[in-house]
Amino acid sequence: MLRLGRGRDGTEFDKSQSEIAALQEQLLTSEATIHSLQAAVHQRDKLIRQLQPRAELLQDICRQRPPLVGLLAALAEAERLGPLPASDPGAPSLLLANNTEEEGDRDHLQPAVFGTTV
């Protein structure tokens, strides 16, 4: 009778079986790790999709920042200049009219007040 994979006392067969069992255990562990990593990647991809619109909004804000900084600087300068000094009641007025003839019957516009919140 021919015996494959066995030594005289069967230890070679037992050794092969234990190696196969160890490799199967490693395979199962590796597959579990792969599934866990795939789930983590899926969760991160989902989070990236959720954050993408906010990232685009922040990019838009960053692109618009230089003009806003210039506008705020101009408003700060206007605030620094303050209102025009009061003139003598008898002196000619240096203020320009703020309306047209069509707007004559409307209330006069209030003078602008400059202020910043930054």
Which pTM value belongs to this model?
Answer: 0.44
Distance CA 13, CA 91 (A): 118
Which of 106, 8, 63 shows the shortest CA–CA distance to 97? 106
User: Contact 118/72 with Cβ under 8 angstroms?
Assistant: yes
What is the pLDDT confidence band of residue 13, given thresholds at 50, 70 and 90? confident
Segment 76-96, tens digit of pLDDT: 999 999 888 776 666 666 555
Segment 54-71, tens digit of pLDDT: 999 999 999 999 999 999
Q: For residue 78, which amino acid is it?
A: A
User: Contact 71/116 with Cβ under 8 angstroms?
Assistant: no
Distance CA 54, CA 94 (A): 50
What does the mean pLDDT of the chain come to? 81
